[in-house]
Structure 1
């Protein structure tokens, strides 16, 4: 993996716990190879990337939230470790002025996980899952895709204050975009979400988050169009 400059990642209150969680996950996926690379080196770089200064929503807090939701939905996953790896990588490359973040994140996952000794089948699955977060529309029966996408979209079902904070953080990430252009672009994103037959594909996600998320997204859209 490309080495990153020092960032404020270590200041995050869950840094040590996240690093330990990553190391445990990658060790499981490396199998019994005694020559496998040290997971900690990869974990520190991932955490550094998630703490880059251009991020306002796609931060370490977002990573923590997606990992927690993926764990909450583990019962639905076919390969929970692949889902967890995809959660770590799904926004690891993030530049708000670029449109290929998911693809670049998937490519980095392929390169890093192969180098780290993860088997090719699982590496391919992780990269596929990362690419699904472009439109959050997994195919029917794609259990791992459903879990990752539900975990990523669970932020939409926050209480009013939490949702407002999320929307404000997204706007901050796009502070370089003029208000009129941002409103148009954001409204298009929200319309595409509302056009999905279901925002959440797992039974738990649908029952717990669907109605609240649709209300939140609809309200934001109304405000943008007012």
Structure 2
């Protein structure tokens, strides 16, 4: 994973995210070191953070931005006691929309493949790397199995935006529309309505007990309101 070229900044826009990334990578590595001759330490995680943050800051993004990444990581922190392997869930959050083109359907697959390349380079073991990639792919459906606590935490954190205040939800919906500005309005309404119906058809949007208690009612109200406004 070669760090993307970066424009010169006089200030660091995301020091806290870089700190959190380094801590997560250290936890995911455990005592593992690279297999390089001489037992050299695993690579510095900082360039990988820069690469990922550059991806999250791509100019075509309006919702899937650094702010969304931060929000997902914050919600994972709230749900941390439900996770089996918190560092794996946190890594999956970093990668879950690392590749994002609104005109493509394979974003999750390409994001998972990016994790599968980058994490072994960073010294993360095979089992955790595979689990991160699995969790990233799970965000296609947001429908984790009942015996998948890490999947439940990631999906709940990713969907928590649906439970915002009316103004916050309206801003989210507008940002989604802006990402799909290339889609004619009639086609967008059809596609977006289908997404909303699919979410509303889930028996539970939020699978963790805390997520369900905090967010289920508000999210369903917001989704239903948007669907009504779209004429669905």
Please give the TM-score of this superposition, normalised by the length of structure 2.
Answer: 0.93
Quote the Cα distance in structure 2 between the aligned partners of 1:81 and 1:26. 7
**Structure 1: gaps (5+ residues):** none
Equivalenced residues, count: 225
Quote the Cα distance in structure 2 between the aligned partners of 1:134 and 1:8. 35
Aligned to 1:97: 103
Aligned to 2:133: 127
Does structure 1 residue 219 correspond to structure 2 residue 225?
yes
2:69–2:93 contact (8 Å) kept in structure 1: yes
Does structure 1 residue 73 correspond to structure 2 residue 79?
yes
Question: Offset at 1:139?
Answer: 0.7
Question: Offset at 1:52?
Answer: 0.5
Aligned to 1:31: 30
Please give the TM-score of this superposition, normalised by the length of structure 1.
Answer: 0.96
Q: 1:179 to 1:73 in 2, by over 3 A?
A: same
Aligned to 2:36: none
Aligned to 1:5: 5
What does the per-residue CA deviation read over 1:62-106, in whole Å, with 9 as the maximum and x for residues that have no partner? Answer: 000000000100010000000000000000000011010000000
Aligned to 1:182: 188
Question: Offset at 1:8?
Answer: 8.5
Runs of 4 or more above 6 Å deviation: 8-12
Q: 1:98 to 1:12 in 2, by over 3 A?
A: farther
Greater Cα radius of gyration, structure 1 or 2: 2
Question: Offset at 1:20?
Answer: 1.1
1:106–1:131 contact (8 Å) kept in structure 2: yes
Bigger helix share: 1
**Structure 2: gaps (5+ residues):** 34-39
CA RMSD, 1 decimal:
1.5
Quote the Cα distance in structure 1 between the aligned partners of 2:102 and 2:9. 19
